[in-house]
Amino acid sequence: MDLTNYELLALRWKDVNLNQGILSVLQSLEQTKDGIRFKAPKTQRSRRNVTLPAVTVEALRAHKAAQSELRLQLGVGRDENALVCPGLDFRPRSPAAFTREFTRFVVSLDMPRITFHGLRHTHASQLLRAGVHPKVAQERLGHSTIAVTLDMYSHVVPSMQVDAAERVDAVLKAALGKQKSNE
C-alpha cells in the first residue's frame, strides 16, 4: 500500500470500506517525547481516499477476521475505533517499534532489504512504470502537487521515454504511410 507507517498505524477499521475496496486516510500518528498521539495528516492533499487492489482487500478481510477472533478470545470485544495495525495490547503501535519489527520481518524473508517507507517509493515507481497517470500516483501518495511526485520519481521517467518515443514513432509511421497511399 501507499501509506507511510505513521498513516498506516493510525488507520482505523471504520476508515476502511472493504465492500467498496477503499480506505480513507484521515489521520496519522506522531511520536513525541510525551508519547504517541494522533494528528491530522501533513497537508490537505494527504487526507485522501485510496482504492485498494482486490488482493489487498482479501488480505485485509482475513486480517480483520483474525483480529476480531483474537479480540473475542481475550475478552476485549468490539471497538468502533479499533486500529487496523495495533500493538499487541490493541493500543497504537510505536512507529519506531513498527520500523524495527518490519526490518526483522524483511531479514527473515531472505530477500533484498527494503525499509517500510521504501515500499511507498516502490509503489510509486511501479505505478509510473505501469503507465498510471502521474496525477493518479500523486493522489494515491497524498502529495500536495503533481510536481512533488514527478520531482521525487523522475528517475522512473527516463525508462518511460523510450516507450514514449516508440509510440510516437508508430503514430508517425502510420500517418506517413496513409499520406503516401493518398499520393
pLDDT recorded at residue 13: 96
The gap from C-alpha 178 to its chain's centroid, in whole angstroms, comes to 45
Burial degree of 151 (CB within 10 A; 0-12, 13-18, 19+): exposed
Burial 76-95, CB ≥16 within 10 A → b, else e: eeeeeebbbebeeeeebbbb
Mutual angle of helices 116-129 and 95-108, in 10-degree steps = 70
Burial degree of 112 (CB within 10 A; 0-12, 13-18, 19+): exposed
pTM of the entire structure?
0.76
pLDDT in tens, the chain (183 residues): 445 568 999 999 999 999 999 999 999 998 888 888 999 887 787 899 999 999 999 999 999 999 999 999 988 888 889 999 999 889 999 888 898 999 999 999 988 888 888 888 888 888 888 888 888 988 888 888 888 888 887 776 666 677 778 889 999 998 888 766 666
pLDDT recorded at residue 68: 93
The gap from C-alpha 19 to its chain's centroid, in whole angstroms, comes to 19
pLDDT recorded at residue 153: 79
Residues in a beta bridge with 28: 39
Residue 51 DSSP symbol: E
pLDDT recorded at residue 25: 94
pLDDT recorded at residue 10: 95
pLDDT recorded at residue 38: 93
The gap from C-alpha 177 to its chain's centroid, in whole angstroms, comes to 44
Closest CA to 86 of 114, 115, 66: 66
